[in-house]
Amino acid sequence: MSEDTISFQVNFKGNIIPVESWSLDNTIHELKEYLVESTGVPLEFQKLLYKSVLKDGKTFRECNFKSGI
């Protein structure tokens, strides 16, 4: 895995959804699009948290994500 990618897990209703080799330049909105298939929750009803509510237009790099979180 390069330094420009991260891997992490999303917890949804007790289910763990792995996210592997995700680019730090991807946006939160792109993650929400990815999660629609796994969760069935439409984009507009998703709220992702990491230290605070994540804003759709921010990249993972801007949110200071680190691998394994």
pLDDT digits (tens, 9 = 90+) for 2-53: 579 999 999 999 999 999 999 999 999 999 999 999 999 999 999 999 888 9
Whichever domain contains 26, its CATH number is 3.10.20.90
Q: Show the domain range for 50.
A: 1-68
Task: Provide the number of structural domains found in the chain.
Answer: 1
Which residues, 6 or more positions from 56, have their beta carbon under 8 angstroms from its beta carbon?
27, 28, 29, 32
Position 69 scores a pLDDT of 58
Q: Strand pairing of 52-53 and 15-23?
A: unpaired
The pLDDT score that the predictor gives to residue 36 is: 97
